[in-house]
Chain A
């Protein structure tokens, strides 16, 4: 299977801040990938680098077989939806359809009209007069009308109420199926979000960033299969750390709870073993931000999860 996105050592530094550090990921074609991580983890930076809006300080990215850059052919393959869904608020949806039609080679005006008509969103009112949910739908529909092969969505769900969120994700899921083969390949989607339950519903791939580094990257099934939660009486964990990577350790007076990435199938039967939810895994890695739970070294080692497939 070919990778739509492949980066190695991608790094972005602003004057003093490192927004993204040594990011090495790969997203296979056709995946809907969830990009998660705490605020300031580098999610937006990664998406902007992939969209060609910013240039990396170091490292390379290969997207759709090319380097992200200012080039009509490259940009035609990318659908990018920025945070806060910026559109021209004084222009109407119809104006935006016209703009898209004039600036893109594979533009599909008909699908926009049909989709917005189906959602009962007026075409000839300034976007400022629409609700946030409607604007998000307009923005997503416009991004899809470009018929991209890779969709990069930066927190598109953040401003939406649960109902609008569901409708947005429905449009997205529908597009992922419909766009098959439209431009010679499956549509790949990378979607950043904080809303783990919503993501679990539509995504089949996960990229987890924390402290500007990649903590996890792989198919969600694989990620789930590689992690276990161990609960047992409080005791020394050095024996278990020799065979498995301890992602997170919670200790109370009597009990120890561990989130493990399995290194081998063998686990000491003294522990009670449970399969973690995606949310538990993500939160486990995010709390590594806290130096008590992990080091940069450990994080770098863990980023190999799913890479060997």
Chain B
């Protein structure tokens, strides 16, 4: 069955390998250039002791091409699910070849298990390899701007892309099995994948763990150490509640300016600080980066397992 799977997917496999090789070349060239810039900058700042303020020196480790390419790699997790997963069962049903495949001396369960297994592995390996490459190429930039936890960086580095790829493959196979048509299955896979990814990134991810809240004076800038994931921020008054009644139309840091500071509308910060107002930032600290990578990967792998379990249940009970 492994040989049969390889025979049917070898052209797609070769195409994927070629695209991966091309991406590797581009990322290697740009990544090596960035690494060189980064290390020479580190060497320079070490001599004059300005390394703490490296981000403020105008050092640029990005190029439009690189940025676009890195964001574009978020599609790598989806494409195998679209082009291999959705047609896996649907195309066989459309062309009737399932009747050939399922009347050889092999059970449908084994046919499905071997094929699903190899496609999941291929998607995971591809996503993992691209992610490793991206993680390496964006390493200096993530270190300089401490943005490893940001959307568009978190989502394309380390282990979460593997979880996304496994999920997309399972979603494609499941949609193809239920809809029996390749094109609708591709559409559902695309919409479902994008929908779930946006939902988790925007609404679920900030709440995987109870966030930490930091309070700080209004008169000075504050940022947690390292790369953090911001959940919410704002101003609270001496009673611990955000200012309510304010001067109509005037806003400071997203909140109304309290009436006591009516005379300092141009620069209300010192006045508000004097009256006990403080700024707060609720966030997930940098130390939780790997926990969050693990939690999000687990969520997508579990979703994939549910989808695949359902696919097996349907396909083994339904008439061919």
A84 interface residue per 8 A CB criterion: yes
- B106's nearest neighbour on chain A, judged by CB, is A103
A86–B106 contact, CB under 8 A?
no
A-B contact pairs, 17 of them (CB 8 A): A51-B103, A54-B319, A55-B319, A70-B107, A70-B316, A75-B105, A75-B106, A79-B103, A82-B96, A82-B99, A84-B96, A86-B97, A98-B4, A100-B104, A103-B106, A104-B105, A146-B105
Q: A88-B8, A88-B100 are in contact. List 19 more A-B contacts (CB 8 A).
A: A53-B99, A53-B319, A54-B319, A55-B319, A70-B109, A70-B316, A72-B105, A72-B106, A72-B107, A76-B105, A79-B103, A80-B99, A83-B96, A98-B7, A99-B4, A99-B7, A103-B104, A103-B106, A146-B104
Q: Is A161 an interface residue (CB 8 A)?
A: no
Nearest-neighbour CB distance to chain A for B106, whole angstroms, equals 5
Q: How far is the CA of A82 from the CA of B93 in the complex (A)?
A: 13
Q: How large is the interface on B (under 10, 10 to 19, 20 to 34, 35 or more residues)?
A: 20 to 34
Chain A residues with CB below 8 A from B7, complex form:
91, 95, 98-99
B1-57, CB < 8 A from A: 1, 3-4, 7-8
Majority secondary structure, A binding face: loop
List, in ascending order, chain A residues with CB within 8 A of B100's CB.
82, 86-88, 139
Contact B103 A71 (CB under 8 A): no
A-contact bits for B94-124, CB 8 A (1 contact / 0 none): 0111011011111111000000000000000
Q: Cβ of B96 and Cβ of A53 under 8 Å apart?
A: no
Write the chain B residue with the least CB distance to A54.
B319
State how many angstroms separate the Cβ of A147 from the closest Cβ of chain B: 11
A206 beta carbon closer than 8 Å to chain B = no
> With the chains together, A67 CA to B106 CA distance in Å?
16
Scan residues 185-218 of chain A and give those whose CB is less than 8 A from a CB of chain B. none
Among the listed A52, A75, A79, A91, which residue makes an inter-chain contact with B8, where contact means beta carbons less than 8 Å apart?
A: A91
B102 contacts across to A, CB distance below 8 A: 53
Are B95 and A99 in contact (CB-based, < 8 A)?
no
> B103 near A87 (CB under 8 angstroms)?
no
Residues of B within 8 A of A48 (CB): 319-320
| Contact in complex: A87, B97 (CB < 8 Å) | yes
Separation of A99 and B102 alpha carbons in the complex (Å) = 12
Tell me which residues across on chain B come within 8 A of A88, comparing CB atoms: 8, 95, 97, 100
Q: Are A98 and B3 in contact (CB under 8 A)?
A: yes
Q: Is the CB of A86 within 8 A of B319?
A: no
- Closest CB-CB distance, A86 to chain B, in whole Å? 3
Instruction: Name A154's closest neighbour in chain B (CB-CB).
Output: B99
Q: In whole angstroms, what is the CA distance A55 to B109 when docked?
A: 16
Enumerate chain A residues within 8 angstroms of B95, measured Cβ to Cβ. 86, 88-89
In B105-153, the 8 Å CB interface with A consists of 105-109
Residue A78 interfacial (CB < 8 Å): yes
Q: Which of the residues B97, B104, B109 comes within 8 Å of A104, measured between beta carbons?
A: B104
| A29-68 Cβ-contact flags toward B at 8 Å (1 or 0) | 0000000000000000000100111110000000000000
Q: How far is the CA of A82 from the CA of B105 in the complex (A)?
A: 16
Q: Which among A53, A84, A87, A105 is the interface contact of B105 at CB below 8 angstroms?
A: A105
- Distance between A52 CB and nearest chain B CB, rounded to angstroms: 8
Q: How far is the CA of A192 from the CA of B109 in the complex (A)?
A: 29
How far apart are the CA atoms of A175 and B72 in the complex, in Å?
A: 57
Would you give the shortest CB distance from A154 to chain B, in whole angstroms?
9
Complex Cα gap A71–B319 (Å) = 15
| C-alpha gap A84/B7 in the complex (Å) | 23
Instruction: Encode B73-100 as 1/0 by CB contact (under 8 A) with A.
Output: 0000000000000000000000111011
* CA A87 to CA B107, docked complex, whole Å: 18
Interface hub of A79, A82, A95 (most chain B Cβ within 10 A): A82
Q: Is the CB of A86 within 8 A of B105?
A: no
Complex Cα–Cα for A87 and B3 (A)? 17
- Select B320's contact among A53, A76, A103, beta carbons within 8 Å: A53
